[in-house]
Amino acid sequence: MSITCFIRYEIDPFQIDAFRDYAQHWGRIIPRCGGHLLGYFLPHEGSNYEAWGLIAFDSLAAYEAYRERLQADPEGRANFERAQRGRFILREERRFALAVQGTLGLPAQVHGTAAAASTAEGTAP
């Protein structure tokens, strides 16, 4: 994937469960519409109102085609409407970034652990 859309959400901290449900729906919808879903993230430490969604695409043109498919998708439209009715998303921003080649998705390699030993031996942890 060459471009990632970072979606920053300001959410109602008293409706985190509603946002979690919203994000879980995207887990089915986004891949079907052509996006590579990297994940949705809820607040944990620090801010109690900031959540994130990360979706990767081959290009901005691929993103535009995805947006068209998303708008035509009945479950996608229903999820947008759920968020509007529930008013648990207070603000939403999108930013696009390019991953630095060779840095995305690298596993941890802590020395002295079973994960590091199996990685060094060429086996999956």
Between 124 and 66, whose confidence is greater? 66
Name residues whose C-beta falls within 8 Å of residue 55's C-beta, 6 or more positions apart in sequence. 4, 5, 7, 30, 35, 36, 37, 38
Helix (H) or strand (E) holding 10: strand 3-11
The percentage of the chain sitting over the pLDDT mark of 90, rounded to a whole number, equals: 78
* Share above pLDDT 70 across residues of the chain, in percent, rounded to a whole number: 89
pLDDT digits (tens, 9 = 90+) for 80-122: 999 999 999 999 999 999 988 888 888 999 987 655 555 555 5
User: Which residues face 55 on adjacent strands?
Assistant: 5, 37
Q: What pLDDT score does 123 carry?
A: 52
Prediction pTM value: 0.82
